[in-house]
Amino acid sequence: MKNFPEKFADLLKPETKAFVFIATTMADGSPQVTPVWFDADDEHIIINTAVGRIKDRNLQARPKVALAIVDPADPYRYIQVRGQVVERITDGADKQMDTLSIKYTGKPWDLPAGQQRVIFKIKATRFDEH
């Protein structure tokens, strides 16, 4: 990611199995936090979820998010990110989930029957280093 702070760039590497804790906002204004697998490209943090889940519904209705990416080797080392969903994609989401599963578990994703996956691309607008 181009604007990601260099001292935390290792958390984005494919070999690092860092989790991102994503905070979304419920309809009543309360927060909802979920740890998820993630990926990144030059511009975005990328997450994947099932269509219809709370994350999916919240991100569509209220696209502003807060994230914490935690170092798997040192949970006291993390970076907070604020941003906004800029794209929701279903095309290729199953394949991307398979890629994430191989990264995090070493095996392909076992897609439950009838489940449809969705990708969210998040544009970071602020970083808070810790």
How far apart, in whole angstroms, are the C-alpha atoms of residue 116 and residue 25?
22
Quote the pTM value: 0.94
- The stretch 62-87 carries a mean pLDDT of 97
Predicted confidence (pLDDT) at residue 25 exceeds the cutoff of 90? yes
Q: What are the chain's domains?
A: 6-129 (2.30.110.10)
Confidence (pLDDT) at 43: 95
The pLDDT tens digits of the residues spanning 102-117 come to: 999 999 999 889 999 9
Confidence (pLDDT) at 116: 95
Confidence (pLDDT) at 129: 87
Predicted confidence (pLDDT) at residue 130 exceeds the cutoff of 80? no
Closest CA to 20 of 61, 71, 59: 71
